[in-house]
């Protein structure tokens, strides 16, 4: 309700109150001046009623009301009585007690002139009674009420100052229309709590003061605004939010209540980017999919050169990483802190001469450590030509580590490719015209037999003045083979394998395998233990095998050919030496033709 309306209501009410006072003070007159009762001026004389005028019913200022049960009954308004016989009212004698000053509501608009006292018919009694209802009236300023003395004389009396005059309170909020700025709303009255409802609840002229809420402009409609643009209101206007602190009001997915996402943005407006949602990646220098724990980076996706999994114990080797297959290489392939775990191990021995055989204490490992060998038993680990199973040579060493020293015991191969003949060989050449030499360049042993060999019979086993090269025969069974280049053209030329028996001297020998020229046999022939077989190739491979007392012979023309057995013979005599020979006898008178035989290699095997 506007302040002008309130003042208008209060003004009209004041006029009504004054009128009520005047009517109450019926006999004494009424004027607009408060000093009429005490100024000494004479009041107008009352007019006597005409004899023809009969007394009428007693008028009442307000209709009589029935008090509301349980409510306090206001003091009744005193009745003003007048004498039936008009008399002049004497000047009132001042009473001992001070006369109360009437209290009236101020009149906003002064009257132009005093209202004359009306002349009325004398009334025996004029009762004035008001019974207000608490819901319709409220206690206000006390009113002056005068009581006239019957007979027309005496001094008017006034009620105590505590007597209140009721005023309308239409909404029952305890405040009359004079004070209530909206007497149609019980929630509106002076002192009421101010509500944020667009009304002046406490009647202080201000509307919604101190109860409006600050709202923030929310451009993206995510329920969070910014402090850059605000407004006060009871409810959020369109485009505003009750909460501020939106760090990006153009993106509805970014606000203080949003979940942080791994996208390079501060989604929840806490000043940090991607906090708590990034993954840890590990530097992967070797590109095997596993990185090192010491070098990490937090990101939404793996940066270049980084892996999702760490734990690589060797980031310079792609074969080494967690989960790799453990191999026998003396390193931790699977990065579990163990080396070569779960692999079978063997015993290895120090092999100083790197001949494949070691000596000393064993080392257990899954593979041979550097400088170690799996085989054991080297009798001289500083000499690579000495080890178990080596070919025995006449070199002053126990090559095969059998403890017997120089000998041809089990296996021997001489390719005649050294500067000097193996010391195990013995050269026998009684005829000074015969020559034995070794050509290391071509890798051959050459025997030259002179036609001046002694003897009278080519077939005499003692007739071996020709050159021969022999070595001690091993005990037991053996096999000897040679590769011979020899092309005989004259009678009584021959070369091959020679066996000499131990029960005689070196002249008791047997030409067990031979390539020769024998006219009765058809010229150029070969025989190995057996009969002569015609043979015209310039190169021949000869082999003799001893098994017990039996000797069997084979031959072939090339390395790739199969062996052809020539014959078998028995001899119970113990063999003392084995070797090669060449022979030439000039029974035909030809002293110019020599026998020249080249042995490419010689092999003795078990």
- Report the pLDDT value the prediction gives residue 507, as an integer from 0 to 100: 61
pLDDT cut 90: percent of the chain above it = 34
Going by pLDDT thresholds of 50, 70 and 90, the confidence category of residue 406 is low
257 or 105: which leads in pLDDT: 257
Q: Mean per-residue pLDDT for 128-152?
A: 44
Of the given ranges (84-98, 483-497, 556-570), which has the lowest mean pLDDT? 84-98
**pLDDT above 70 for 558:** yes
Q: Mean per-residue pLDDT for 386-412?
A: 75
Going by pLDDT thresholds of 50, 70 and 90, the confidence category of residue 476 is confident
Query: 420-432: buried (b, 16+ CB within 10 Å) or exposed (e) per residue?
Result: ebbebbeebbebe
Q: Mean per-residue pLDDT for 267-272?
A: 92
CA dist 127 to 81, 369, 492, 537, Å?
Answer: 8, 139, 196, 181
Of the given ranges (50-59, 149-158, 246-255, 302-311), which has the lowest mean pLDDT? 50-59
Q: What is the pLDDT of residues 215-239, one digit of tens each?
A: 999 999 999 999 888 988 888 899 9
- Report the pLDDT value the prediction gives residue 444, as an integer from 0 to 100: 92
Q: Mean per-residue pLDDT for 254-277?
A: 90
- Report the pLDDT value the prediction gives residue 129, as an integer from 0 to 100: 40
- Report the pLDDT value the prediction gives residue 409, as an integer from 0 to 100: 54
To the nearest whole number, what is the mean pLDDT of the chain? 75
72 or 597: which leads in pLDDT: 597
**pLDDT above 70 for 455:** no
- Report the pLDDT value the prediction gives residue 203, as an integer from 0 to 100: 93
- What is the residue whose two structure tokens read 């191999």? 327
- Report the pLDDT value the prediction gives residue 32, as an integer from 0 to 100: 40
- Report the pLDDT value the prediction gives residue 60, as an integer from 0 to 100: 37
Going by pLDDT thresholds of 50, 70 and 90, the confidence category of residue 83 is very low
**pLDDT above 70 for 144:** no
- What does pTM read for this prediction? 0.40
Of the given ranges (160-174, 278-292, 441-455, 496-510), which has the lowest mean pLDDT? 160-174
8 Å CB contact between 515 and 523: no
* Gap between the Cα atoms of 198 and 194, Å rounded: 10
Q: Mean per-residue pLDDT for 102-121?
A: 50
247 or 509: which leads in pLDDT: 247
- Report the pLDDT value the prediction gives residue 84, as an integer from 0 to 100: 47
pLDDT cut 70: percent of the chain above it = 67
- What is the residue whose two structure tokens read 């006219």? 519
β-strand pairing of 478-485 with 595-605 = antiparallel
Beta carbons within 8 Å of 69's beta carbon, 6+ residues apart: none
- Report the pLDDT value the prediction gives residue 128, as an integer from 0 to 100: 40
Q: Nearest-CA neighbor of 585 among 410, 452, 432?
A: 452
Beta carbons within 8 Å of 246's beta carbon, 6+ residues apart: 216, 218, 220, 222, 224, 225, 226, 254, 255, 256, 269
**Which of 118-127, 135-144, 346-355, 440-449 shows the highest mean pLDDT?**
346-355
**pLDDT above 70 for 87:** no
Task: Name the CA radius of gyration of the chain, rounded.
Answer: 76
Q: What angle do CA 251, 257, 260 make, to 5 degrees?
A: 75
* Gap between the Cα atoms of 164 and 191, Å rounded: 22
- Report the pLDDT value the prediction gives residue 461, as an integer from 0 to 100: 47
**Which of 72-76, 128-132, 396-400 shows the highest mean pLDDT?**
396-400
- Report the pLDDT value the prediction gives residue 464, as an integer from 0 to 100: 55
**Which of 95-99, 365-369, 483-487 shows the highest mean pLDDT?**
483-487
Q: Mean per-residue pLDDT for 304-331?
A: 93
Going by pLDDT thresholds of 50, 70 and 90, the confidence category of residue 137 is low
**Which of 76-90, 115-129, 136-150, 540-554 shows the highest mean pLDDT?**
540-554
- Report the pLDDT value the prediction gives residue 126, as an integer from 0 to 100: 40
- Report the pLDDT value the prediction gives residue 371, as an integer from 0 to 100: 94
**pLDDT above 70 for 133:** no
- Report the pLDDT value the prediction gives residue 453, as an integer from 0 to 100: 58
C-alpha torsion angle, residues 393, 394, 397, 401 (rounded to 10): 40
Q: What is the pLDDT of residues 507-554, one digit of tens each?
A: 678 889 999 887 765 678 898 888 889 998 989 999 999 999 999 999
**pLDDT above 70 for 23:** no
Q: Mean per-residue pLDDT for 26-34?
A: 40
- What is the residue whose two structure tokens read 């009871």? 234
* Gap between the Cα atoms of 64 and 233, Å rounded: 49
- Report the pLDDT value the prediction gives residue 194, as an integer from 0 to 100: 87
- Report the pLDDT value the prediction gives residue 416, as an integer from 0 to 100: 87
């Amino acid at each position: 309700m506007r302040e002008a309306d309130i003042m208008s209501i209060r003004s009209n009410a004041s006029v009504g109150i004054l009128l009520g006072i005047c009517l109450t003070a019926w006999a004494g007159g009424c004027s607009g001046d408060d000093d009429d009762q005490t100024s000494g001026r004479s009041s107008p004389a009352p007019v006597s009623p005409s004899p023809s005028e009969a007394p009428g019913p007693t008028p009442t200022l307000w209709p009589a009301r029935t008090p509301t049960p349980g409510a306090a009954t206001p003091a009744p308004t005193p009745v003003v009585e007048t004498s039936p016989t008009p008399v002049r009212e004497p000047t009132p004698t001042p009473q001992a007690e001070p006369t109360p000053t009437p209290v009236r509501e101020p009149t906003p608009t002064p009257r132009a002139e005093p209202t004359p006292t009306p002349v009325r018919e004398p009334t025996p009694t004029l009762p004035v009674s008001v019974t207000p209802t608490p819901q319709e009236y409220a206690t206000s300023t006390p009113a002056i009420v005068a009581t006239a003395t019957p007979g027309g004389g005496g001094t008017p009396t006034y009620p105590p100052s505590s007597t209140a005059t009721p005023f309308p309170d239409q909404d029952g909020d305890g405040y009359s229309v004079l004070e209530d700025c909206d007497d149609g709303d019980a929630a509106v009255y002076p002192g009421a709590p101010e509500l944020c409802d667009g009304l002046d609840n406490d009647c202080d002229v201000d509307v919604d003061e101190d109860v409006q809420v600050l709202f923030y402009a929310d451009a993206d409609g995510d329920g969070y605004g910014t402090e850059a643009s605000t407004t006060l209101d009871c409810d959020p206007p369109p485009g505003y939010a009750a909460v501020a602190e939106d760090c990006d009001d153009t993106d509805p997915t970014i606000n203080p209540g949003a979940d942080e996402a791994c996208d390079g943005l501060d989604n929840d407006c806490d000043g940090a980017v991607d906090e708590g949602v990034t993954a840890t990646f590990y530097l992967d220098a070797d590109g095997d999919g596993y990185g090192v724990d010491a070098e990490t980076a937090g990101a939404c996706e793996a940066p270049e050169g980084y892996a999702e999994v760490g734990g690589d114990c060797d980031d310079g080797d792609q074969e080494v990483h967690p989960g790799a297959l453990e191999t026998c290489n003396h390193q931790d392939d699977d990065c579990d802190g163990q080396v070569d775990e779960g692999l079978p191990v063997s015993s290895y021995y120090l092999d100083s001469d790197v001949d494949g055989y070691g000596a000393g204490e064993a080392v257990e490992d899954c593979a041979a450590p550097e400088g170690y060998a799996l085989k054991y038993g080297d009798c001289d680990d500083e000499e690579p030509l000495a080890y178990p199973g080596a070919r025995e040579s006449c070199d002053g060493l126990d090559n095969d580590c059998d403890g017997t020293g120089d000998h041809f015991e089990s296996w021997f191969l001489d390719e005649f490719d050294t500067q000097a003949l193996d010391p195990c060989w013995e050269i026998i050449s009684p005829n000074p015209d015969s020559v034995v030499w070794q050509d290391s360049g071509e890798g051959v042993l050459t025997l030259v037999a002179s036609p001046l060999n002694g003897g009278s019979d080519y077939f005499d086993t003692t007739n071996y003045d020709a050159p021969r090269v022999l070595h001690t025969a091993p005990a037991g069974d053996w096999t000897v083979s040679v590769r011979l280049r020899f092309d005989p053209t004259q009678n009584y030329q021959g070369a091959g394998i020679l066996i000499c028996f131990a029960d005689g001297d070196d002249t008791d020998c047997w030409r067990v395998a031979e390539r020769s020229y024998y006219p009765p046999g058809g010229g150029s022939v070969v025989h190995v233990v057996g009969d002569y077989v015609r043979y015209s190739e310039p190169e021949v491979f000869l082999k003799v095998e001893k098994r017990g007392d039996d000797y069997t012979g084979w031959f072939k023309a090339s390395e790739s050919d199969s062996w052809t057995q020539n014959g078998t013979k028995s001899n119970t005599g113990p063999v003392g030496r084995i070797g090669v020979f060449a022979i030439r006898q000039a029974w035909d008178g030809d002293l110019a033709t020599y026998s020249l035989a080249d042995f490419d290699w010689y092999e003795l095997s078990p």
